[in-house]
Structure 1
Amino acid sequence: MSDSHDLAVDRLPPGFNRLAGSNLAAQSAEQIALAAMPMVAVLTLHADASTASWLQVTLTLPFVLFAIPVGMLADRWPKRALMAGAEAVRALALFAVAGLLMAGRLNLAALGVLGFVAVCGTVVFSVAAPALVPSLVPAAMLARANGRIELARTIAFACGPAIGGALVGWTGSMAAFALAAALSAMAAALLAGVAAPESVARHAAHPLRDIAEGARFVFHHPLLRPVFITQFVFTMAFFMVIAIFVPYAAHRLNLSAQAIGLTLGMYGAGMVIGALLAARILARWRFGHVVATGPVCGLAGGVLLAATLWQPWPALAQAGFFLLGCGPILWVVSTTTLRQTVTPPTLLARVSAVNVMSYGARPIGAAMAAWLAAHAGAGACLLMAVAGFALQLLCILQSPAVRLVRQPRADDTSAGLEPA
């Protein structure tokens, strides 16, 4: 009797489940496409490590350029409509890549432009989805709902690179992009069934005032500010690795396209394990300890990847990517829940956008990798990434966020802080 009662209490609303399904389709589309693009650039269009890194810069620029404007729009307009429109645009861009491949007309410039357009869809989804979740589930279920969202995302991270690598290696690149485009179209269709109460449109005096209000809230908040800084540094270090890993794996580790996809897929496998354990860990561990787990695992994973410079064993790279997925997914679930509980609903999309702006570290990390790869080789990129992972751990250990005993309430941001 009690088990069935608990199941009923813990059941998430149908509208949220459709959002989670849409998230799975959208994230799968993103991961398949993002895995296929550098493989096509390196294996088909013969890009070197520096060129592949500049492609990564192009694929990450939308987070810098559009996250804040999208956050402002998502606090004013229906979030579901914004997300569905963005997924439709991404589907069209990916279908265009597949068409150019079929016609034999794809080049690096076209791949970069269409990839840039496709990633714009990712930016909209990344900003709007976390701001939509609190309108679909009660506050007491936010951690569980965020865990479900991240589980869907982690499945995509686990399967997407492996599927992308397999399709590129076995059937050609066109099939990978066609599948990714179809998944984006499916994500847009699933969003049509998400019924969520939308906030009344606000009439702000000026868009810049809207943007400044969200940024001011984050950078003056004692818990959110160090979380942003830590995430920025982690993302920069991680994308130094991502930018050079495909050519590094192909030339240094002698991996095939399928093996590269499998290795990158270990990142997603770690995320799946972390997401499956997230609710149990959050229930048993101190909230601050869960927050710190991601940065700790980030440093450990970076060290394992750098170790392949001396021992070029694929297993070391796979273990490194696994840790980079497993620990940081606990970071995402815990810090997303933290952000949702301490932020007023009218600010949530803009605050979410500021968080997504930390992805602006992606082009910075990729550009640093491009420069280092050209002047000092891929090995220097891995060593610099280790330094970045060490720095992000120091950042979070200096913050009050790691001293939180429990999830804080919206009306008391210092509740649950362990004495210093």
Structure 2
Amino acid sequence: MRSRLPRFRFPVADASLSASFQQLAWSNLIAQSAEQISLAAAPLVAVFTLGATARDTGLLQTAQTLPFLLLSIPLGVVADRRSRRMLMAVSESVRALAMASVLLLVLSHGLTLPLLAVLGFLGATGTVAYSVAAPALVPALVTRDALPAANGRIELARSVAYSAGPAMGGLLVGWIGAGWAYGCAAALSALAAALLAGLREPPRVVGAARHFMAELREGARFVIGDELLRPMLATAVFFNIGFFTLQAVYVPYAVHRLGLSASAIGVTLGAYGVGMVCGALAAPSVARRVAFGRTLIIGPFCGLAASLTMVATLAVPSFWLAAASFFLLGAGPILWTVGSTTLRQAITPANMMGRVSALNSTATYGARPLGALLGAAVSARFGMDACLVVAALGFVAQAWIIVMSPVARLARIPDDAAVLSS
């Protein structure tokens, strides 16, 4: 008999969440803030300080996202074999050291684009560790019924960071210089690592270590063979390709086509986080009125609307259109992020959680350097304007995939099989 669960709810706060989870949520907020400040500062430093072109910023974006493609699976296997808390703490410490190194290079006038790319690569390891270990750790810290609330809290923290981080990064670069923006990011990462080091992770039974490829194949078969996980993975891949094709050229496009300053660019990027916060706050009302599967198609269609809005700036160069585009990219997809994470956690065996999270990160976040490389290649051959159109095509593909899949017909969170609406 298939169990029938209550209709999906999307709370962003819940007093019943454990103290250990609260500590994880705070560390997540701080780590995400560090990441967003450094990610916003990198292309601004590249363009305004090092004279980078659109091709250069595309390659820089590739370096900062390549760890998702190369490290997600190894770190996912580690997350299933070792302490997830320690994995995140060590990786966040690596990010702190990388950001502190950028500060020292700026102060000594020794920063170059290759060094900025290498240190950005190292800094992204903290983000990769979070992306594979945190979703695997959350079910150990809260009950199954509290998963939507817990994931909502994690995503609300991420939304705040995405809202404040890019704007803060742009303002810090404009006010106190690039080096000290990275210094702030390093300090935040060090604080996040300290919080993680003090988190109490419940003990768990870890199976005997097997050959790496055998464990990987087991996780891959599970994801590819599941009718719900498979289309969610494909949707996320095309979303990230489209998003990072756009991101690869946005800063030089905003400078040379839209005529924006560093601070104004930071504000438009910050609109992404503002949209995420607004989406999180509106989500409980949406969830009361919309079936679970329908909430999962809102994000992809908001992404499509965002890409078309950015394409409109080709005809009408506008700060407001650019900001609206990033706002839409944040407002809708947060429903997708929390819903898809909750769905994976609900139907994935506990001893495979790290590998499934890693495979998801490899495919989705690994699409980011592919999108960034695509942006660099298209801009070099056809110009920045063409990148906006190519990005929009990626968003068309992801919207089509999810609306045609059984995920869109889910009435509620399934237990071990799809619960489809009539």
**Same fold at TM > 0.5:** yes
The correspondence of residues 56-71 of structure 1 with structure 2, limited to 5 A, is 56-71=61-76
Partner of 1:133: 138
Q: Post-superposition, which runs of at least 4 consecutive aligned residues in structure 1 deviate over 3 A?
A: 6-10
Is residue 388 of structure 2 the alignment partner of residue 385 of structure 1?
Answer: no
Q: Which of 239, 246, 255 is residue 241 of structure 1 equivalent to?
A: 246
Cα contact 1:29–1:184 (8 A) shared by 2: yes
Partner of 1:413: 417
The correspondence of residues 259-408 of structure 1 with structure 2, limited to 5 A, is 259-357=264-362, 358-408=364-414
Cα contact 1:79–1:128 (8 A) shared by 2: yes
- Greater relative contact order (Cα < 8 A, sep 6+): 2
Give the letter for the 2:401 counterpart: C
Greater Cα shift, 185-194 or 388-397: 185-194
**What is the alpha-carbon root mean square deviation over aligned residues?**
1.4
Residues 125/150 of structure 1: CA separation in 2 closer, same or farther (3 Å cut): same
Residues 201/290 of structure 1: CA separation in 2 closer, same or farther (3 Å cut): same
- The CA distance in 2 between the partners of 1:8 and 1:285, in whole Å, is 20
1:197: how far off?
1.1
1:211: how far off?
1.1
1:196: how far off?
2.4
1:9: how far off?
7.5
**Matched residue of 1:384: which SS?**
helix
The correspondence of residues 8-407 of structure 1 with structure 2, limited to 5 A, is 10-357=15-362, 358-407=364-413
Residues 296/195 of structure 1: CA separation in 2 closer, same or farther (3 Å cut): same
1:8: how far off?
11
Q: Which runs of 5+ in 2 are unaligned?
A: 1-10
Percent of aligned pairs sharing the same letter: 53
Equivalent pairs, count: 411
- The CA distance in 2 between the partners of 1:339 and 1:284, in whole Å, is 23
- The CA distance in 2 between the partners of 1:7 and 1:185, in whole Å, is 26
Give the letter for the 2:42 counterpart: M
Partner of 2:3: none
Greater Cα shift, 31-40 or 282-291: 282-291
Residues 30/221 of structure 1: CA separation in 2 closer, same or farther (3 Å cut): same
Give the letter for the 2:314 counterpart: L
CA-to-aligned-CA distance 1:94-115 (integer Å, 9 cap, x gap):
0000000011110001101111
Give the letter for the 1:395 counterpart: I
Residues 7/22 of structure 1: CA separation in 2 closer, same or farther (3 Å cut): closer
Partner of 1:3: none
1:67: how far off?
0.3
CA-to-aligned-CA distance 1:293-336 (integer Å, 9 cap, x gap):
00110000000001000000111111111000010010000000
**Matched residue of 1:354: which SS?**
helix
Cα contact 2:244–2:371 (8 A) shared by 1: yes
Greater Cα shift, 185-194 or 360-369: 185-194
- The CA distance in 2 between the partners of 1:128 and 1:281, in whole Å, is 29
1:175: how far off?
1.1
Give the letter for the 2:420 counterpart: L
CA-to-aligned-CA distance 1:357-395 (integer Å, 9 cap, x gap):
111111111111101111111110000111110110000
TM-score by length of 2: 0.95
1:283: how far off?
3.8
